[in-house]
């Protein structure tokens, strides 16, 4: 329990100390923001800072910091370290720069931002990559809640069309169309802060429940500094890929431009972007602690947690909430596992629309121009929702962290051009390069070459990427001259 509180204090302190270092490095000023300058009443709309924070939190979170953290708890309390230091030195930095670089470039999508600092080839790669990833995320976050709603109806002995997954899939997709199409302050700006508060309350209820149950003891890192995964899955780099949203996630970079287009001042970035990531880290830390403390450990392995996770993410969240909060927890769990994915899904489609709009230079202030992008996007989502995408989805974790790696290298090039301290992004970029490349060589769904090949290959490629960046920094001044 002591190590949990130490990590919690480090996260909070990280916001005020390292988050300020990051902000001072970027150096926000009083220039006119895109929300004020453009203000099209659709995507560029000024919103108050507290709404920006809560909407950003909900957009980047969903179930990510909950289920990912519980999966990470299979390795034991060592996961606390990744959540804590990953959030402070990688995730917070990534989210801040992805949001602020978008803000500095007229609210551009992350693919356009990458193109500005890494070149045209990378811009086109990121355009395709971002749209495919966002449509996939949006579709999965429609199918999952639809299935859960049907399960609830069937458990209540309700039959008919309302107990059909197809029915609820179309209902959710219809909502996605509306939320993707209309002004951001009409639905997202009004109700998402409420759901953001629910996400926070659910986390607080879980940790209070853990503390008030004498049977639940959060293990200490120093007494369980070992791999507790029942299958012996290696910590490096699988744990770093598994716990994405609770430490660092490339998906966040696709969401940050939404709020970058709604900021009244650049100085709000510290609270909105870095702050939301720290809040997500705290939520992930709480759920990881619950996973480590509630379930039985056999021979030093997290067998009890493994058994509950085998029933699916919704069942695991339901179980934790019911054990820590009783009936109130069950109600919060239902909000969490149904609403949170949907709210991440619709902003995924909205982000996809904006990526396409930036790509093809389609003016989004006009009703008909938004229809041109919304209709085919949701049509593709409807088709994908009826396909067996299980195999494709396995690649999400890797592509997610690879996107984070690219964004950090983008921020590094920006800082170099601005003659600022680029090491605050180069170090996490190099680290995430090693994580992503190691996983690519190791994972069964990727090259499946085992740790003997994956470990050195991942490190070597990370060094190569670092070398390419350093070469670019030496070459660029000569070309400019």
445 occurs within a structural domain: no
The per-residue pLDDT of the chain, averaged, comes to 90
**How much is the pLDDT for 477?**
56
* Residues 347-356: b if buried by 16+ CB within 10 A, e if exposed: bbbbbbbbbb
Q: How confident is the model at residue 388 (pLDDT cuts 50, 70, 90)?
A: low
Distance (Å, rounded) from C-alpha 255 to C-alpha 266? Answer: 17
The pLDDT of 387-394, averaged and rounded, is: 56
DSSP assignment of 415-442 equals HHHTTS-THHHHHHHHHHHHHHHHHHHH
CA dist 431 and 452 (Å) reads 19
pLDDT tens readout for residues 103-154: 999 999 999 999 999 999 999 989 988 888 888 888 877 877 887 788 778 7
Question: Which SS3 state, helix, strand or coil, does residue 364 take?
Answer: coil
- pLDDT over 80 (residue 54): yes
Other Cβ atoms less than 10 A from the Cβ of 312: the count is 16
Number of domains in the chain: 1
pLDDT > 90 fraction of the chain, expressed in percent and rounded: 64
User: Would 421 be classed as within a structural domain?
Assistant: no
Q: How far apart are CA 372 and CA 378, in angstroms?
A: 11
Residues 43 and 274 sit within 8 Å (Cβ to Cβ): no
Which residues on neighbouring strands pair with residue 201, listed in sequence order? Answer: none
Q: How confident is the model at residue 285 (pLDDT cuts 50, 70, 90)?
A: very high
The answer to whether residues 227 and 76 touch, using CB atoms and an 8 Å cutoff, is yes
What pLDDT does residue 344 have?
A: 82
Residue 375 inside a domain? The answer is yes
Residue 142 has what pLDDT? 83
* Cis bond before residue 435 (omega within 30° of 0): no
Tokens of 53: 């924070």
- Which stretch of 150-159, 168-177, 214-223, 281-290 has the lowest confidence by average pLDDT? 150-159
* 312 against 228, higher pLDDT: 228
CA dist list (Å): 19 to 16, 58, 203: 6, 20, 23
Q: Classify residue 402: in a domain, yes or no.
A: no
Range of weakest confidence among 110-114, 235-239, 319-323: 319-323
Which residues lie across from 298 on neighbouring strands? Answer: 301
Three-class HEC string of 130-187: HHHHHHHHHHHHHHHHHHHHHHHHHHCCCCCHHHCHHHHHHHHHHHHHHHHHCCCCCC
Question: What does the pLDDT look like over 403-414, one tens digit per residue?
Answer: 999 999 999 999
The conformation of residue 27, written as its DSSP 8-state character, comes to: -
**Cα 15 to the chain's mean position, in Å?**
18
Q: What is the pLDDT of residue 332?
A: 76
Q: What percent of the chain has pLDDT over 70?
A: 96
- The confidence score (pLDDT) of residue 145 equals 82
Assign 445 a pLDDT band (cuts: 50, 70, 90). Answer: confident
Q: Which residues of 431-446 are buried (b: 16+ CB within 10 A; e: fewer)?
A: bbbbbbbbbbbbbeee
Question: What number is the average pLDDT over the span 299-326?
Answer: 87
Taking the model in full, what pTM does it have?
0.93
407: closest CA among 208, 251, 209, 193?
251
CATH number where 54 lies: 1.10.4160
Taking the mean position of all CA atoms in its chain, how far away is CA 224? 28
Give the three-state DSSP class for 301. Answer: strand
Question: Which residue is it, tokens 């500094």?
Answer: 225
Q: Is residue 298 classed as helix, strand or coil in its secondary structure?
A: strand
- pLDDT at res. 481: 33
Report yes or no on 426 lying in a domain.
no
Report DSSP letters for 214-232, one per residue: TT--PPPTTTS-S---TT-
Rounded to an integer, the average pLDDT of 220-236 is 95
pLDDT tens across 187-222, in order? 888 888 988 888 888 899 999 999 999 899 999 999
Q: What is the pLDDT, as a whole number, of residue 282? A: 97
pLDDT at residue 9 is higher than 80? yes
Q: Say how many C-beta atoms besides its own lie within 10 A of residue 266's C-beta.
A: 20
Residue position matching structure tokens 């899955």: 233
Boundaries of domain holding 311: 2-394
Residue 70 is predicted with a pLDDT of 92
Q: Which residue has the tokens 């870095």?
A: 274
Short-list 35, 61, 24, CA closest to 339: 61
Residue 298 φ then ψ, to 5°: -120, 120
With respect to residue 448, please indicate whether it lies within any of the assigned structural domains.
Answer: no
Residue 135 lies in a domain: yes
Is 84 contained in some domain?
yes
In the predicted model, what is the mean pLDDT of residues 164-191?
89
Are 238 and 231 spatial neighbours (Cβ–Cβ below 8 Å)?
no
Which of 61-70, 157-166, 316-325, 328-337 shows the lowest per-residue confidence on average (mean pLDDT)? 328-337
Of the listed ranges 49-63, 128-142, 415-429, the least confidently predicted one is 128-142
pLDDT confidence of residue 392: 54
- The encoded tokens of residue 214 equal 């004498």
pLDDT at 394 over 70: no
**Residue 391, pLDDT above cutoff 60:** no
Rounded to an integer, the average pLDDT of 260-269 is 97
**pLDDT at residue 257 is higher than 70:** yes
67 or 447: which leads in pLDDT: 447
């Amino acid at each position: 329990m002591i190590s949990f509180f130490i990590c919690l204090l480090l996260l909070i302190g990280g916001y005020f100390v390292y988050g300020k270092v990051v902000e001072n490095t970027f150096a926000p000023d009083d220039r006119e923001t895109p929300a004020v300058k453009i203000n099209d009443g659709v995507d560029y709309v000024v919103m108050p800072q507290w709404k920006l924070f809560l909407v950003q939190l909900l957009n980047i979170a969903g179930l990510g910091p909950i289920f990912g953290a519980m999966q990470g708890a299979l390795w034991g309390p060592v996961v606390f370290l990744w959540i804590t230091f990953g959030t402070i030195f990688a995730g917070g930095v990534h989210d801040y720069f992805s949001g602020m670089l978008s803000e500095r470039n007229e609210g551009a999508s992350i693919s356009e931002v990458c193109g500005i600092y890494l070149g045209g080839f990378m811009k086109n790669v990121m355009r395709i990559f971002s749209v495919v990833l966002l449509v996939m995320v949006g579709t999965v976050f429609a199918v999952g809640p639809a299935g859960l709603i049907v399960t609830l109806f069937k458990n209540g002995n309700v039959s008919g069309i309302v107990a059909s997954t197809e029915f609820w899939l179309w209902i959710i997709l219809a909502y996605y169309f509306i939320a993707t199409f209309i002004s951001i302050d009409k639905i997202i700006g009004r109700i998402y802060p409420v759901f953001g508060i629910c996400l926070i309350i659910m986390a607080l209820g879980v940790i209070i429940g853990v503390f008030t149950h004498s049977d639940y003891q959060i293990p200490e890192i120093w007494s369980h500094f070992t791999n507790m995964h029942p299958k012996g899955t290696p910590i490096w780099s699988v744990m770093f890929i598994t716990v994405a949203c609770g430490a660092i996630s490339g998906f966040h970079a696709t969401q940050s431009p939404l709020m970058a287009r709604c900021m009244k001042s650049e100085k709000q970035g510290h609270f909105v972007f870095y702050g939301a990531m720290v809040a997500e880290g705290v939520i992930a830390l709480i759920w990881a602690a619950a996973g480590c403390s509630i379930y039985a450990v056999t021979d030093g392995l997290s067998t009890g947690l493994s058994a509950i996770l085998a029933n699916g993410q919704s069942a695991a969240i339901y179980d934790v909430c019911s054990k820590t909060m009783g009936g109130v927890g069950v109600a919060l769990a239902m909000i969490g596992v149904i609403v949170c994915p949907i709210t991440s899904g619709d902003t995924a489609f909205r982000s996809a629309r904006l990526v396409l709009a930036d790509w093809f230079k389609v003016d989004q202030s006009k009703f008909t121009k938004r229809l041109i992008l919304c209709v085919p996007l949701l049509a593709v989502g409807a088709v994908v929702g009826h396909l067996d995408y299980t195999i494709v989805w396995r690649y999400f974790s890797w592509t997610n962290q690879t996107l984070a790696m690219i964004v950090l290298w983008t921020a590094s090039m920006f800082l170099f051009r601005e003659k600022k301290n680029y090491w605050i992004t180069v170090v996490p970029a190099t680290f995430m390069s090693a994580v992503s490349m190691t996983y690519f060589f190791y994972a069964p769904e990727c090259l499946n070459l085992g740790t003997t090949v994956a470990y050195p290959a991942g490190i070597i490629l990370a060094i190569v990427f670092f070398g390419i960046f350093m070469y670019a920094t030496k070459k660029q001044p000569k070309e400019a001259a």
